């Protein structure tokens, strides 16, 4: 059965410290281009002076107000799961949700982060070596990006996280889905970088509020590619240093655009123009 969406939609983004997010502008512009009255609200826990404990109330309120759905970001991607009636296969596998669709009295959680990263990588680093890679970060976004990395054909992914147990759990889940040994929890970062083709960065380091490098610069060599998921600012210190050392790089903008492309489709039932959304994202400035 095909569900016909109304021409007026209201959606929102729940997270903490999200005032600089470009997601609302991308959704609103594409909605207008598609002939929709498309209202996208920021529901910022930080601005509200609330914590994750407010999530159940905020989800109920959005549903009551007739929202078509919600995007979910840090620190709510896992906390939202108990509030949902169903999960897509990807969201279930990843244990993280970034898009919730309200339909027929039910709340269904999806994960468009992994597809967003995979699509950006395919376009931006189409011909790089993929035998081995290192990933920094195993949180909600990290789990999605690691799933994407193995889907893209990376042979072995060494995952590092400040919480080694979280890295182990993420690696175990990936190996169960993709095959034994495809992902491991790393213990020696210099040694892993010695044999890696590239680096995926999936921690908050490099964001405006968390400046700096996520690893020692001397571990980067010209043979490495470096893929970033931070997009505000678009050029992080990691990308600047990596380029200066001769690495091929991928900024976080593509993931931001393509996760929004898929979320827009889930909210509206309309496949958006991804090239137009990419151009609009770029027009919003360097970040």
Residues with a catalytic annotation lie at: 77
Cis peptide before 75 (omega within 30 of 0): yes
Nearest to 26, CA basis, from 255, 203, 204, 227 = 255
Query: Is 138 in contact with 214 (CB distance < 8 Å)?
Result: no
- The enclosing H or E element of 254 equals helix 253-268
CA distance 132 to 263: 30
CA distance 9 to 245: 46
Which residues are CB-neighbours of 163 under 8 A, at least 6 positions away? 138
**Which residue has 């107000």 as its token pair?**
65
Structure tokens that stand for 238 in this block: 């990691």
Beta bridge partners of residue 42, listed in sequence order: 13
C-alpha angle 46-49-55 in degrees, rounded to nearest 5: 80
CB neighbourhood size of 58 (10 A): 19
């Amino acid at each position: 059965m095909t569900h016909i969406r109304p021409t007026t939609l209201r959606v929102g983004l729940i997270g903490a410290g999200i005032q600089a997010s470009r997601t609302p502008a991308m959704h609103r512009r594409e909605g207008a281009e598609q002939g929709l009255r498309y209202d996208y609200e920021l529901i910022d826990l930080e601005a509200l002076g609330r914590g994750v404990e407010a999530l159940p109330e905020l989800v109920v309120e959005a549903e009551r107000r007739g929202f078509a759905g919600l995007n979910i970001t840090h620190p709510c991607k896992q906390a939202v799961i108990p509030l949902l009636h169903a999960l897509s296969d990807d969201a279930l596998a990843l244990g993280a949700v970034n898009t919730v669709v309200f339909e027929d009295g039910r709340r269904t959680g999806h994960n468009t982060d992994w597809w967003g990263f995979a699509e950006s990588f395919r376009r931006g680093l189409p011909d790089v070596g993929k035998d081995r890679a290192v990933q920094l970060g195993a949180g909600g976004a990290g789990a999605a990006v690691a799933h994407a990395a193995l889907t893209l054909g990376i042979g072995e992914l060494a995952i590092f996280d400040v919480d080694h147990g979280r890295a182990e759990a993420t690696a175990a889940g990936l190996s169960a889905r993709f095959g034994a040994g495809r992902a491991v929890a790393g213990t020696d970062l210099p040694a892993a970088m010695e044999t890696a083709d590239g680096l995926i960065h999936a921690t908050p380091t490099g964001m405006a509020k968390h400046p700096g490098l996520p690893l020692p610069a001397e571990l980067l060599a010209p043979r490495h590619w470096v893929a970033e998921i931070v997009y505000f600012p678009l050029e992080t210190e990691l990308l600047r240093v990596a380029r200066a050392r001769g690495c091929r790089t991928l900024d976080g903008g593509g993931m931001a655009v393509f996760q929004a492309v898929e979320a827009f489709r889930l909210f509206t039932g309309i496949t958006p123009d991804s090239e137009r959304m990419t151009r609009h994202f770029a027009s919003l400035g360097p970040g």
